Structure 1
Amino acid sequence: MAIFPAESRLGKHLPHVKFIYPNAPALHITIYGMMTPAWYDFLSPSASSINHEQDEKGMLRSRQQVLQIVRDEMETSNIPANRIVIGGFSQGCVLSLLTGLTSEYRFAGIASLSGYLPLPEKIMDMATDANRKTPIFWGHGTADQAVKYEFGEETVEFLQKNNYAVDFHSYKRMGHSASIEEITDLLAFFKQTIPEQQPVTAKI
């Protein structure tokens, strides 16, 4: 199963995987001065690095919402955590990384697209050992103007220094979006982390 806070059409290529696309609530965004669907508030209009002011309260609130989805699926659909990938794009990427690094559940993988490191000053204090070896896919376009490509590089460098297994994919001339090349790489990641299970036959 893949919990992906950013709708995509990946499911048609992976019929054995259940995709869940949570909807972000409407929030008042400080830098826009208006209500819009978002997982947390944007506080810094011109951040120069991943060490910018972040909406910790909003991030942690949304983290709990995603973890509740995980618990519900584990209980009602009998899907083990090691068959679940947490992933997302932009804010969904940030939320997925926060959820994956700090969860007590050992996930199959974390898919991070065009985002940045959440709460860099305290994330390692919040991190659990459950996903220290969980594979992390990171995709980022070099022409991204919404979330700077350098933010992705900083995040990957930070994670690798802390011994996380991050596979960094850089896409030339791609903006704050996706490309066929990135989707192809992401599909390969899903097939590796959530392989199709072979039916078990009983021999008598």
Structure 2
Amino acid sequence: MEKPLEYLIRKPKVSIENPPLLVLLHGVGSNEEDLFSLANYLPESFLVVSARGPLTLAPDSYAWYEVLFTTGQPKINLEQEKESRRLLLEFLDYLKLNYQFDESNVWIGGFSQGAIMSYSVGLLYPERIKGIIALSGRLLEENKEIVKITDDLLKKKIFISHGNNDRVLSVEYARSVKQYLESIGIRPHYREYPEGHSINREMLKDLIQWLEENL
């Protein structure tokens, strides 16, 4: 099987036969090195994989789909988003063929557009994903409409963090996801921070603690 996406990998720091897998997805205009810089802080038992979006914007600058803000509201290329979702599922299959990990313990998370993709994959294919990490993201309305409420979905562990001074993706997006998840019976871990569109030390500390509690 050909490699569907470029990626960086950190193997577990402890000897473990079937480690949990954590797939990290960067935001628009970034690359796989961005969130990989957090890998050393994350729980040692994880097999951590940081993937590169398939769309090249410029040298070292990638995305999961094109987005335009010309109307003040983000307008996205839905076909590209759907294709990136397909590639991510294929990527999970590729990882399974090449690395040893626990298929019932797969986590996906990202920042900004990476968080959006994490919601898409985790909520639309809940049987493949145990937990979702959404840092400064949103849930696409188009995908919310096709979410199927199943037992697998209702077991989802979801971590949401957002800066309430975010000028790129308003904190209202995070609040609306929280409201939606609670309305279908999922209680996410939710927290806002006095921060812009970025990840600060406090968010990272809370994420690590949450992962350790939920692993």
Report the TM-score, using the length of structure 1 for normalisation. Answer: 0.80
Aligned length: 184
CA distance in 1, matches of 2:202, 2:137: 18
Partner of 1:64: 86
The 5 Å alignment of 1:12-161 reads: 12-13=40-41, 14-27=43-56, 37-47=62-72, 53-103=75-125, 105-118=127-140, 120-127=141-148, 129=150, 130-161=152-183
CA distance in 1, matches of 2:91, 2:213: 23
CA contact (8 A) 2:104 2:128 kept: yes
CA distance in 2, matches of 1:159, 1:46: 28
Aligned to 2:132, what secondary structure does the other structure show? strand
Could you give the per-residue CA deviations for residues 89-127 of structure 1, whole angstroms, max 9, x where no partner exists? 000000000000011524221000101112x14524243
CA distance in 2, matches of 1:115, 1:148: 9
CA contact (8 A) 1:108 1:193 kept: no
- Whether 1:186 and 2:207 are equivalent positions in the alignment is yes
Partner of 1:5: 25
CA distance in 1, matches of 2:143, 2:95: 29
CA contact (8 A) 2:55 2:65 kept: no
CA contact (8 A) 2:120 2:143 kept: no
CA contact (8 A) 2:111 2:137 kept: yes
Structure 1 unaligned spans of 5+: 29-35, 195-204
Deviation at 1:78, TM superposition (A): 3.6
Inter-CA distance 144–44: structure 2 relative to 1 (3 Å threshold): same
CA contact (8 A) 1:107 1:131 kept: no
Inter-CA distance 162–55: structure 2 relative to 1 (3 Å threshold): farther
Deviation at 1:192, TM superposition (A): 2.5
Task: State the 4+ residue runs in structure 1 displaced beyond 6 angstroms.
Answer: none
CA contact (8 A) 1:103 1:128 kept: no
CA distance in 2, matches of 1:12, 1:121: 35
CA contact (8 A) 2:138 2:174 kept: yes
Rg comparison, structure with higher value: 1
| CA RMSD after TM alignment | 2.3
Which has more strand, going by share of residues?
2
Inter-CA distance 93–64: structure 2 relative to 1 (3 Å threshold): same
Deviation at 1:54, TM superposition (A): 3.3
What amino acid does structure 2 have at the position aligned with 1:59?
A: E
Partner of 1:162: 184
Deviation at 1:128, TM superposition (A): 5.8
